Amino acid sequence: MVAKETGWSKEEIIYNTSFAALQLMIADAPKTSYSKKGKEEFESDEDLANWLGAE
Protein backbone atom coordinates (compact mmCIF):
# COMPACT_ATOMS: atom_id res chain seq x y z
CA MET A 1 0.00 0.00 0.00
CA VAL A 2 2.73 2.50 0.92
CA ALA A 3 4.74 1.72 -2.23
CA LYS A 4 1.68 2.17 -4.42
CA GLU A 5 0.62 5.46 -2.85
CA THR A 6 4.06 7.05 -2.57
CA GLY A 7 5.72 5.66 -5.68
CA TRP A 8 8.65 4.44 -3.58
CA SER A 9 10.35 1.14 -4.32
CA LYS A 10 10.35 -1.66 -1.75
CA GLU A 11 14.06 -1.05 -1.17
CA GLU A 12 13.46 2.63 -0.39
CA ILE A 13 10.75 1.70 2.10
CA ILE A 14 12.86 -0.99 3.80
CA TYR A 15 16.14 0.91 4.01
CA ASN A 16 15.12 4.58 4.22
CA THR A 17 11.90 4.63 6.25
CA SER A 18 11.53 3.91 9.94
CA PHE A 19 8.98 1.41 11.17
CA ALA A 20 7.30 4.16 13.21
CA ALA A 21 6.91 6.33 10.09
CA LEU A 22 5.38 3.39 8.20
CA GLN A 23 2.92 2.78 11.04
CA LEU A 24 1.86 6.43 10.91
CA MET A 25 1.42 6.29 7.12
CA ILE A 26 -0.79 3.22 7.40
CA ALA A 27 -2.80 4.74 10.26
CA ASP A 28 -3.37 7.92 8.23
CA ALA A 29 -4.44 6.05 5.10
CA PRO A 30 -8.08 6.47 4.06
CA LYS A 31 -10.38 3.76 5.35
CA THR A 32 -12.83 1.86 3.17
CA SER A 33 -16.05 0.45 4.50
CA TYR A 34 -17.84 -2.33 2.69
CA SER A 35 -21.36 -2.29 4.04
CA LYS A 36 -24.17 -4.48 2.79
CA LYS A 37 -26.50 -1.52 2.77
CA GLY A 38 -28.50 -1.13 -0.43
CA LYS A 39 -28.03 -4.73 -1.51
CA GLU A 40 -30.43 -5.59 -4.31
CA GLU A 41 -32.17 -8.94 -4.49
CA PHE A 42 -34.04 -10.13 -7.55
CA GLU A 43 -36.94 -12.52 -7.60
CA SER A 44 -36.24 -13.87 -11.09
CA ASP A 45 -33.65 -13.88 -13.83
CA GLU A 46 -35.89 -11.54 -15.83
CA ASP A 47 -35.82 -8.96 -13.03
CA LEU A 48 -32.03 -9.12 -13.02
CA ALA A 49 -31.86 -8.81 -16.81
CA ASN A 50 -34.17 -5.77 -16.71
CA TRP A 51 -32.08 -4.16 -13.97
CA LEU A 52 -28.93 -4.70 -16.05
CA GLY A 53 -30.64 -3.20 -19.10
CA ALA A 54 -30.57 -6.38 -21.17
CA GLU A 55 -33.11 -6.55 -23.93
Angle, CA of 21, 23 and 24, to the nearest 5°: 65
Please give the DSSP secondary-structure letter assigned to residue 9. -
- Tens digit of each residue's pLDDT (9 = 90 or more) over 1-55: 778 888 988 888 889 999 999 999 888 888 777 766 667 788 888 888 888 887 5
pTM for the model stands at 0.47
Instruction: Give the integer Cα–Cα distance in Å for 42 and 35.
Output: 19
Domain ranges, ordered by start, for the chain: 1-30
Q: Cα torsion for 16, 21, 22, 25, to the nearest 10°?
A: -130
Predicted confidence at residue 36, as pLDDT, reads 67
